[in-house]
Amino acid sequence: MAEAKLAAICRATINGRYVDTPLTIPVINPATGEAFAEAPDCEASHLDDAVSAARQAFPAWKRVDPASRDAMLLAVSARLRGEIEPLAHLLTQEQGKPLEEARHEIETAARWFEAYANHPLPVGQRREPDGRLAEIRHVPIGVVGAIAPWNFPVQLMAWKLAPALKAGNTVVAKPSPFTPLTTLRIGELLLDILPPGVLNTISGRDHLGPLMSEHPDIDKISFTGSTATGKAVMRGAAGNLKRLTLELGGNDPAIVLPDADVQSVAERLFWGAFRNAGQVCIAAKRIYVHDDIYDRFAARMAGLAGAHPPLPGNMPGARIGPVQNRVQFERVKAMIEEARATGLHFLSEPGEMAGPGNFIAPTLIDNPPDDSRVVREEPFGPLVPLLRYSHVDEAIHRANDSEYGLASSVWSADVEQAAEVGRQLEAGTVWLNTIHGMTPTLPFSGHKQSGIGVENATEGLLEYTNVQVLVRHG
Ligand code: NAD
């Protein structure tokens, strides 16, 4: 906790107004290790103000006619598109990702608002056997607390804000203390588009999340983050039986069948694993490759790793940036050290790069045992194991042997064969000869301990509603 020394470049926004806090948190550029800005360190009283503003704004917002609400969502989308350059630079500074990916992230957020503006909330009718007519409505829940992580701070927050607002809820949004600025800036940019209190944006240390989960006047928490924190959110939310959407950790398997094209699939999977420096919930985190092609595949992956050192995100040509924060950097380094200490073989030169930033070269481990930490846990950084298999049933069994079930991918010259394998995987999304490329029209959800509920598409929109059945006689 630091006294405000540097000018806070982004402020909290509560009830349509800027809010300055007496205390601030430093925001560190992961490419330099230096604090370059301060963000508000909101206390419980700021949260109470934000929740009460959202509560007061709710009755009017839910009655706004759908066409006007959609027009506001389209205006949000247009505002984000108009601000891509400054927002992307800010995002790269605080998050570390290459500028081109930061631009893409802002554009993706804009796309989600646009998609939900154009996506009708379903209304159903059913005639019962006794002749009564039922209208099935999806009504807003009330005040939504939206909590996002630091890997895709803007995109993952937009996945919550767009459907929550579309459905007629009001929102208190809280970004990660590691990456608060771009979200706060977006809150500022939307002040003249959304009515006061409809979207309130606050930041603060990790004490704010539990306060939100337990807040008696928040009706739903939509949370993206680690499985451990998701469980804490679920416990905290029990007090007033909050509705929950939890998008949590993943340890996604990729299965490469023996007939796959080694050169192209290795390249797709290299980026599927190391994009955003491996800090992607749906990154390929365990790559199972058939014995017949393993050596050629491993050599191609290692070549790509050597050709793509991590660079500051604002440097031309950067494809892989630094690890976002020091805690995560130390965690990934410790996993690399443990792998080295236990005698595992590295396919690419591991380790930390020189300089003050959190740079770790893309690191590939050669066929570690299934019970090693790098296979069991989600490294959430540029560290990936390649695993040999000799029979596809064995690969499916090993892929499913995880507490996680977020996504997965299968690669083959024969897509039907890949689909056959894919249907046996325990995951919310299975990609066949492709990976990532999220769209607002496909539901995204985690099986097992990767989450509860759905984001995106109609299914995700309905998570921000309660069902109401109007039954009429005759
Ligand atoms: P995290 O769980 O540490 O933090 C996520 C958010 O929760 C932050 O805003 C944090 O301030 C807040 N928080 C911390 N403690 C809290 C508490 N007790 N109650 C409520 N909120 C609290 O996660 P992270 O390190 O920011 O993100 C990395 C994790 O997120 C990885 O496990 C990754 O797989 C997961 N993730 C999942 C998805 C998905 O869609 N399934 C997407 C991205 C990231």
439 lies in some domain: no
Helix (H, G, I), strand (E, B), or coil: what is residue 139?
strand
pLDDT confidence bin for 353, thresholds 50/70/90: low
Residue 441 lies in a domain: no
Establish if 109 belongs to a structural domain.
Answer: yes
| Domain shared by 428 and 461, yes or no | no
pLDDT for residue 4 is more than 70: no
Model confidence over 267-298: pLDDT tens digits?
999 999 999 999 999 999 999 999 999 999 99
Q: Where are the alpha helices (DSSP H) in 238-313?
A: 262-274, 291-307
Beta carbons of 10 and 188 less than 8 angstroms apart: yes
Mean pLDDT value of segment 117-127: 95
Residue 247 CA: nearest ligand 1 atom is: 41
3 versus 473: the higher-pLDDT residue is 473
Where would I find the H helices in 118-247? 153-166, 181-189, 208-214, 227-237
β-sheet with 170-174: strand ranges across? 17-19, 12-14, 199-201, 170-174, 143-147, 220-224, 243-247, 451-452
pLDDT tens digits for range 364-398: 999 999 999 999 999 999 999 999 999 999 999 99
Q: Give me the chain's average pLDDT, please.
A: 96
Contact by Cβ (8 Å): 339, 386: no
Q: How far is ligand 1, taken at its centre, from the CA of residue 246, in Å? A: 10
pLDDT of the residue at 351: 64
Q: In what order do the strands lie in the sheet with 252-256?
A: 345-346, 363-366, 383-389, 284-290, 252-256, 407-411, 429-432
Token look-up 């390249």 returns 267
Whether the model clears a pTM of 0.75, i.e. scores above it, the answer is yes
* CA 42 to centroid of ligand 1, rounded, Å: 18
Residue 455 has pLDDT above 70, yes or no: yes
Ligand 1 center to residue 209 CA distance, Å?
10
Within a domain: 444: no
Extract the tokens encoding 195: 């009515």
Q: How far is the CA of 270 from the centre of ligand 1 (A)?
A: 24
Q: For residue 451, with 0-12 CB atoms within 10 Å meaning exposed, 13-18 middle and 19 or more buried, which class applies? A: buried
Identify whether residues 331 and 240 lie together within a single domain: no
CA of 396 from ligand 1 middle (Å) equals 28
Q: Among 181, 226, 245, which residue has the most ligand 1 atoms within 8 Å of its CB, making it the best to mutate?
A: 226
Whichever domain contains 388, its CATH number is 3.40.309.10
Dihedrals phi, psi of 190, to nearest 5 degrees: -100, 0
Paired with 385 in beta bridges are: 365
- What is the domain extent for residue 199? 12-248+450-473
Mark whether 408 and 455 lie in a shared domain.
no
Is 171 found in the same domain as 221?
yes
Lookup: tokens for 453: 């509920």
User: What pLDDT does 253 receive?
Assistant: 98
Angstrom distance (rounded) from CA 35 to CA 150: 16
CB 108 within 8 A of CB 161: no
Residue 5 included in any domain: no
Q: What is the model's pLDDT at position 355?
A: 75
Query: What total number of domains does the chain contain?
Result: 2
- Assess whether 39 and 118 both reside in one domain: yes
Smallest CA separation from ligand 1 atom 10, residue: 176
328 in a domain, yes or no?
yes
Residue 1 is predicted with a pLDDT of 38
> How many residues does the structure list for the chain?
474
Sign of the CA dihedral with 436 first, then 437, 440, and 441 last: negative
Residue among 112, 151, 214, 244 to mutate when testing ligand 1 (max atoms within 8 A of CB): 151
Say whether both 147 and 236 belong to one domain: yes
Is 225 buried (19+), middle (13-18) or exposed (0-12) by CB count in 10 A?
Answer: buried
pLDDT at 6 over 50: no
Q: Is the pLDDT of residue 352 over 70?
A: no
Best of 157, 206, 223, 448 for a ligand 1 pocket test (most atoms within 8 Å of beta carbon): 206
How open is the CA angle 417-421-426, to the nearest 5 degrees? 155
DSSP state of 250: -
d(CA 356, CA 31): 7
3-state secondary structure at position 173 = strand
Are 282 and 213 within one domain?
A: no
Based on the fold, state whether residues 214 and 339 are members of the same structural domain.
Answer: no
Which whole number is the average pLDDT over 81-95? 98
Pocket of ligand 1 (CB under 6 A): 147-151, 156, 174, 176-177, 206, 209-210, 213, 224-226, 229, 232-233, 247-250, 281, 378, 380, 406, 446, 451
Question: Are 264 and 218 found together in one domain?
Answer: no
In angstroms, the CA 357 to CA 352 distance is 10
If asked whether residues 122 and 148 sit together in one domain, one would say: yes
In DSSP terms, 469 is beta-bridged to: 136
Catalytic residues, which ones? 247
Nearest to 373 by CA among 323, 330, 339: 339
With respect to residue 107, please indicate whether it lies within any of the assigned structural domains.
yes
Kindly state the average pLDDT of the residues 398-402.
Answer: 98
Distance 146 CA to ligand 1 centre (A): 11
- Among protein residues, the one with the nearest Cα to ligand 1's atom 21 is 209
Any idea what the CATH number is for the domain that residue 111 is in? 3.40.605.10
Do 311 and 340 lie in one domain? The reply is yes
Helix (H, G, I), strand (E, B) or coil at 467: strand
For residue range 412-449, list pLDDT tens digits in order. Answer: 999 999 999 999 999 999 999 999 999 999 999 999 99
Q: Report if residue 374 sits inside a domain.
A: yes
Ligand 1, atom 37, lies closest to the CA of 248
Question: Are 55 and 193 contained in the same domain?
Answer: yes
pLDDT tens-digit map of 27-79: 999 999 999 999 999 999 999 999 999 999 999 999 999 999 999 999 999 99
